[in-house]
């Protein structure tokens, strides 16, 4: 664990809640100064994994080291090193913006003389100067989120855990938020962020896709796209519904995702000419259709890897597909 | 240093939140006001087994017979015989007896001649119920072989009751100091019982346990603001008691303050312990009420401790209010020295240390 380039490492990390296996043998290796994403639907184990890495939950099995500290034994020493932004707004709604930040600065025992300047700095950086005396409970979603991030970064942590930070925020604020994250990463902060937005996942340096507590894939967004065992064929037509009807449940068609007039179709790589296959299914009923093979995006990856997992599970159970 | 900074942070935060929480603020002032008015009336009941001591200066067969008759009545339990009236006074002051019996050297002559009362009962009048019992005692017949008939006809002349501490027999004088304890129990336990659960419910705790704050720091920071609030309530109750019910403070005000401080700390620790066990604020309140009822009924606030069955007495000994009632009545009404009731102080201190330790141990900085 002496390798300084690795900020977070985990192996076989698991957590049970009663009989439910919330996180199932997750291995992680996260580089210092990178933004690492957890992508997955609700209940896929993102929050539980983050909580284990913060030392909030004890792993049922496996091990994890954050900054070389064992999350089982050294969780107290870890607290000073990490910042944690909870999924739910967890600052005091009946305190003002400034009072909240002051409280956090005192809790982290920031030296007395530096407290005021640090709070002021954060208020400016996170564009909260006009809300200084406003109660946190009356802030908008975007303002709350900025305040929470300000509080999480107040003590200049080396690692930042963000649990679905943008779930209550409009697109403009989300963009700004990610700008801030990149700035922080540039300064050397390692950021682990969970999300269920595909576009956010695409912005991460690396990401892991979680499904039902299992890490089904990880790597850079591009790597993930290259690694899937499917071609992506995009079809554009005025009548996507009839195309859908023609393709659904046909041999070699893994999944169909509709995006307005566009359909994205996943076809296994074992089929050499995917476009020909699609054309053969369509026949001549959609003469104006535009068919093109495209590079997979994160959503395609997500669909492909989760489908794949379902299939292998079904096969293991002996159910025919 | 860091520790102090964190404790101070929690204290400051609690005060800020309190100043914005009108309901809690209303309770701080409202509960003492309403309770004090409501309990302006007392509840009386029959009592047995009051602890007593006596001085026998005559030492005749008649005096011995009378003492054994009194004991046989079961209204009192004779704890000891002392040599002088001064010693009886001391025992009363320390609260170790409720009734002192003085048999003068010319007891036999007084019984026969009937010119003056033959026996004097020194009664702890801080409790009106005990005073009532003493009056019952005067009805106990004293048999004197030659003049049985005559004595039975005029029993009242044998005893003279002297009411100590509360000569006018006003219930309020007894109720107000008792009420201090009841009000402090209700508010202090309740405030801290919800203190941590509330943060858990609002999600603040998840942030807090992810900071370097240590559990004892959090607990002390939570307790301190309420100690001041408890003292504020103390001042309200005694001021009102003086204005509306003319309740005096006979003992040292410093002792009242010190005894109350320990008692407040005991209740706050108990509240924190509840707070670490409860899942929701509602659950915390239910648990708090579970403490209130025995406190009010068994602590000696409503019914004299001596009159309760052994089991109830044992339960009462665990409750902080029982010990505080003895302390505060002693200091306020008898003018006693706090340190003459060392047992009660120690009991409260032990209770505080044990509950606070349990609360700290039970509170986990993890979510599992």
Here the CATH number for the domain that contains residue B132 is 3.40.1710.10
pLDDT at A307: 81
Question: Do B116 and B215 belong to one domain?
Answer: no
Q: Do B286 and B143 reside in the same domain of the chain?
A: no
Residue at B367 is within a domain: no
Cα(A7)–Cα(A31) distance, rounded to whole angstroms? Answer: 6
The larger pLDDT score, comparing residue B191 to residue A311, is at: B191
- Note whether B333 and B249 are same-domain residues: yes
Q: Torsion-angle region of residue B102: left (phi > 0), alpha (psi -120 to 50) or beta?
A: beta
Cβ distance of A89 and B13 shorter than 8 Å: no
Same domain, B204 and B323: yes
Decide if B85 is inside a domain: yes
pLDDT digits (tens, 9 = 90+) for A111-168: 999 999 999 999 999 999 999 999 999 999 899 999 999 999 999 999 999 999 988 7
B242-266: b (≥16 Cβ within 10 Å) or e: eeeeebebebeeebbebbbebbbbb
**Cβ atoms of B124 and B335 closer than 8 Å:** no
Domain holding B125, by residue range, is 50-164
Quick one: CA dihedral A22, A27, A32, A34, positive or negative? negative
pLDDT at position B167 is 62
B-chain residue closest to A85, CA distance: B207
The pLDDT value recorded for residue B70 is 80
- Whether domain A6-220 has CATH 3.40.50.300: the reply is yes
β A206-211/A35-39 pair status: parallel
User: Closest to A86 (Cβ–Cβ): which among B1, B5, B206?
Assistant: B206
Please name the member of A80, A84, A86 whose beta carbon is closest to the beta carbon of B203.
A86
pLDDT, tens digit (0-9, with 9 covering 90-100), for B138-191: 766 655 544 444 444 444 456 777 767 666 556 667 778 888 898 899 889 988
- How distant, in Å, are the alpha carbons of A287, A319, B73, B156, B158 from that of B139? 118, 95, 10, 7, 9
For the domain bounded by A229-295, which CATH number is listed?
A: 3.30.70.100
Q: What is the CA radius of gyration of chain B?
A: 25
Residue A129: count other Cβ atoms within 10 Å of its Cβ: 12
Q: In what order do the strands lie in the sheet with B119-124?
A: B76-81, B50-56, B99-103, B119-124, B159-164
Contact B225, B191 (CB under 8 A): no
Q: What is the Cα–Cα distance from B32 to B35, expressed in whole angstroms?
A: 5
Q: Is residue B292 domain-shared with residue B245, that is, in the same domain? A: yes
The alpha-carbon gap from B269 to the nearest alpha carbon of chain A, in Å, equals 22
| Global confidence as pTM | 0.78
Contacts of B21 in chain A (CB under 8 A): 94
Is residue A321 pLDDT above 60, yes or no? no
| Six-digit token string for B187 | 């508010």
Contact A107 B12 (CB under 8 A): no
User: What secondary structure letter does DSSP report for A294?
Assistant: E
B269: which 2 tokens?
A: 């620790």
- For B244, residues 6+ apart whose C-beta sits below 8 A from its C-beta are B36, B37, B40, B172
**Residues 6 or more apart from B10 whose CB is under 8 A from it?**
A107, B213, B217, B218, B220, B221, B222
B147 and B287 both lie in a single domain: no
Phi, psi (5° rounding) for residue A59? -65, 145
Question: Which residues of B lie closer than 8 Å to A, measured between beta carbons?
Answer: 1-2, 5-6, 8-10, 12-13, 16-17, 20-21, 202-214, 365-368
**Residue located via tokens 């499904």:** A211
Q: Which of B3, B5, B12 to mutate to test the interface with A (most CBs of A within 10 A)?
A: B5
Q: How far apart are CA A302 and CA A209, in angstroms?
A: 7
DSSP labels, B81-118: E-S-HHHHHHHHHHTS-SEEEEE-TTHHHHHHH-SS-S
Q: Which residue of B has its CA nearest to A15?
A: B368
Classify residue A111 by its DSSP letter: -
Q: Give me the interface pTM, i.e. the ipTM.
A: 0.82
Question: Of B115, B142, B164, which residue constitutes the final position of a domain?
Answer: B164
What DSSP string runs through A26-40? EEEEEETT-EEEEE-
DSSP output for A227-293: HSSEEEEEEE-S-HHHHHHHHTT-TT--EEEEETTEEEEEEETTSS-HHHHHHHHHTTS-TT-EEEE
Q: Domains of chain A: which residue ranges?
A: 6-220, 229-295
Q: What is the pLDDT of residue A1?
A: 43
- Taking CA atoms, what residue in A is nearest to B17? A94
Question: With the CA atoms of A73, A76, A81 and A87 taken in that order, what torsion angle do they form, in degrees rounded to the nearest 10?
Answer: 100
Residues B20 and B145 in one domain: no
Beta-strand relationship, A6-17 and A20-31: antiparallel
Q: Is A61 on the interface with B (CB under 8 A)?
A: no
User: Is beta strand B159-164 parallel, antiparallel or unpaired with respect to B119-124?
Assistant: parallel
Out of B9, B207, B368, whose CB is closest to A91? B207
Considering only alpha carbons, which residue of chain B is nearest residue A151? B207
In a domain, B44, yes or no: no
Question: Which residues of B fall within a CB distance of 8 Å from A53?
Answer: none
Min Cα separation A103/chain B (Å): 6
Rounded to whole angstroms, how far apart are CA atoms A50 and A62?
14
pLDDT at residue B145 in the model: 46
Q: Say if B225 falls within a structural domain.
A: yes
pLDDT at position A297 is 87
Mean pLDDT of A192-208: 91
Q: Distance (Å, rounded) from C-alpha B69 to C-alpha B58?
A: 17
Nearest chain A residue to B210 by CA: give it: A79
Query: Is residue B127 located within the same domain as residue B234?
Result: no
Asked whether residue B45 is assigned to any structural domain, the reply reads no
Q: Which helix (H) or strand (E) holds A134?
A: none
Q: Are residues B89 and B34 in the same domain?
A: no
User: Among B115, B138, B164, which residue terminates a domain?
Assistant: B164
Q: For residue B179, is it within any domain?
A: yes
What average pLDDT does this structure show over A24-43?
A: 92
Task: Name the residue among A82, A88, A106 with its Cβ closest to that of B203.
Answer: A88
* Per-residue confidence (pLDDT) for residue B158, from 0 to 100: 65
CB pairs under 8 A between A and B: 79
Model confidence at A251: pLDDT above 50:
yes
Per-residue pLDDT of chain B (368 residues; tens, 9 = 90+): 788 899 999 999 999 998 888 888 888 888 888 888 777 654 444 466 788 899 888 888 888 888 887 887 777 888 888 888 888 888 888 888 888 888 888 888 887 777 777 888 888 877 777 777 777 777 666 555 444 444 444 444 567 777 676 665 566 677 788 888 988 998 899 889 988 899 999 999 999 999 999 999 999 999 999 999 999 999 988 888 888 777 788 888 899 999 999 999 999 999 999 999 898 999 999 999 888 888 988 888 877 888 788 898 899 999 999 999 999 989 988 888 888 899 999 999 999 999 999 999 998 888 77
A112 CB neighbours in chain B (<8 A) are 5
Answer whether residue A2 shows pLDDT above 60: no
Residue A92's closest chain B neighbor by CA? B204
Residues B112 and B160 in one domain: yes
Ramachandran angles phi, psi of B336, nearest 5°: -75, 160
Who among A89, A90, A109 is closest to B5 (CB)? A109
Region A20-26: what's the mean pLDDT? 93
CA-CA distances (angstroms) from residue B240 to A66, B36, B117, B235, B250? 59, 8, 40, 8, 16
B274 and B353 share one domain: yes
Q: How far apart are CA B177 and CA B336, in angstroms?
A: 14
At A120 the pLDDT is: 96
pLDDT for residue B155: 44
Query: Which carries the bigger pLDDT value, residue A34 or residue A314?
Result: A34
pLDDT of residue B142: 56
Please indicate, yes or no, if residue B43 is contained in any of the structural domains. no
pLDDT of residue A33: 92
Residue B329 shares a structural domain with residue B260: yes
Task: Inspect the interface and report whether the beta carbons of B210 and A82 lie closer than 8 Å.
Answer: yes
Last residue of a domain, one of B164, B192, B225: B164
Tally of domains within chain B: 2
In a domain, B31, yes or no: yes
pLDDT of A285 reads 73
Cα A239 to Cα B266: distance, rounded to the nearest angstrom: 76
């Amino acid at each position: 664990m002496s390798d300084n380039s690795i900020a977070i490492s985990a192996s076989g990390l698991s957590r049970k809640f009663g009989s439910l296996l919330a996180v199932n043998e997750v291995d992680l290796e996260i580089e210092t100064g990178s933004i690492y994403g957890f992508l997955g639907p609700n209940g896929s184990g993102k929050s539980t994994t983050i909580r284990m890495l913060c030392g909030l939950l004890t792993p049922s099995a496996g091990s994890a080291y954050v900054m070389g500290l064992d999350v089982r034994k050294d969780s107290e020493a870890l607290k000073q090193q990490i910042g944690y932004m909870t999924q739910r707004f967890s600052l005091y709604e009946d305190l003002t913006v400034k009072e909240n930040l002051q409280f956090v600065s005192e809790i982290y025992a920031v030296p007395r003389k530096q407290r005021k300047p640090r709070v002021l700095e954060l208020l400016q950086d996170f564009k909260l100067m006009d809300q200084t005396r406003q109660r946190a409970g009356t802030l908008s979603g975007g303002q709350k989120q900025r305040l929470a991030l300000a509080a999480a970064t107040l003590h200049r942590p080396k690692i930042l855990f963000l649990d679905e930070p943008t779930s209550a925020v409009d697109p403009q604020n989300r963009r700004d938020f990610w700008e801030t994250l990149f700035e922080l990463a540039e300064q050397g902060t390692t950021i682990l962020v969970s999300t269920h937005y595909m576009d956010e996942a695409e912005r991460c340096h690396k990401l892991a896709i979680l499904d039902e507590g299992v890490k089904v894939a990880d790597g850079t967004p591009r790597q993930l796209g290259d690694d899937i065992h499917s071609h992506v064929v995009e079809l554009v037509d005025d009548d996507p519904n009839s195309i859908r009807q023609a393709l659904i449940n046909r041999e070699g068609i893994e999944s169909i995702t509709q995006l307005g007039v566009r359909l994205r179709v996943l076809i296994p790589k074992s089929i050499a000419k995917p476009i020909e296959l699609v054309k053969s299914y369509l026949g001549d009923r959609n003469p104006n259709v535009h068919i093109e093979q495209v590079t997979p995006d994160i959503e395609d990856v997500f669909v492909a890897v989760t489908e794949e997992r379902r299939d292998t599970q079904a096969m293991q159970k002996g159910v025919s597909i | 240093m860091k520790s102090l900074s964190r404790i101070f942070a929690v204290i400051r935060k609690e005060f800020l939140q309190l100043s914005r929480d009108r309901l809690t603020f209303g309770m701080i002032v409202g509960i003492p006001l309403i309770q004090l008015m409501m309990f302006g009336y007392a509840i009386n009941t029959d009592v047995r087994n009051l602890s007593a001591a006596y001085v026998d200066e005559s030492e005749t067969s008649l005096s011995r017979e009378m003492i054994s008759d009194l004991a046989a009545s079961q209204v009192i339990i004779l704890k000891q015989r002392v040599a002088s009236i001064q010693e009886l006074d001391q025992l009363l002051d320390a609260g170790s007896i409720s009734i002192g019996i003085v048999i003068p050297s010319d007891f036999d002559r007084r019984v026969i001649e009937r010119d003056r009362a033959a026996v004097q009962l020194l009664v702890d009048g801080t409790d009106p119920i005990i005073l009532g019992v003493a009056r019952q005692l005067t009805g106990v017949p004293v048999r004197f072989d030659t003049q049985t008939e005559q004595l039975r006809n005029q029993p009242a002349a044998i005893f003279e009751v002297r009411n100590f501490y509360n000569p006018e027999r006003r219930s309020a004088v007894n109720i107000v100091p008792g009420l201090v304890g009841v009000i402090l129990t209700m508010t202090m336990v309740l405030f801290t019982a919800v203190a941590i659960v509330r943060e858990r419910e609002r999600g603040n705790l998840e942030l807090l346990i992810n900071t370097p704050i240590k559990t004892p720091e959090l607990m002390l920071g939570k307790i301190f603001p309420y100690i001041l609030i408890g003292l504020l309530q103390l001042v309200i109750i005694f001021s009102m008691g003086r204005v509306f019910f003319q309740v005096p403070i006979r003992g040292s005000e410093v002792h009242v303050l010190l005894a109350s401080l320990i008692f407040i700390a005991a209740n706050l620790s108990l509240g924190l312990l509840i707070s670490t066990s409860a899942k929701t604020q509602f659950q915390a309140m239910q648990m708090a009420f579970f403490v209130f009822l025995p406190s009010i009924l068994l602590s000696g606030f409503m019914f004299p401790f001596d009159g309760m069955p052994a089991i109830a007495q044992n339960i009462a000994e665990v409750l902080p209010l029982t010990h505080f009632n003895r302390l505060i009545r002693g200091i306020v009404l008898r003018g006693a020295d706090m340190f003459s009731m060392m047992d009660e102080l120690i009991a409260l201190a032990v209770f505080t240390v044990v509950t606070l330790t349990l609360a700290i141990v039970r509170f986990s900085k993890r979510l599992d």
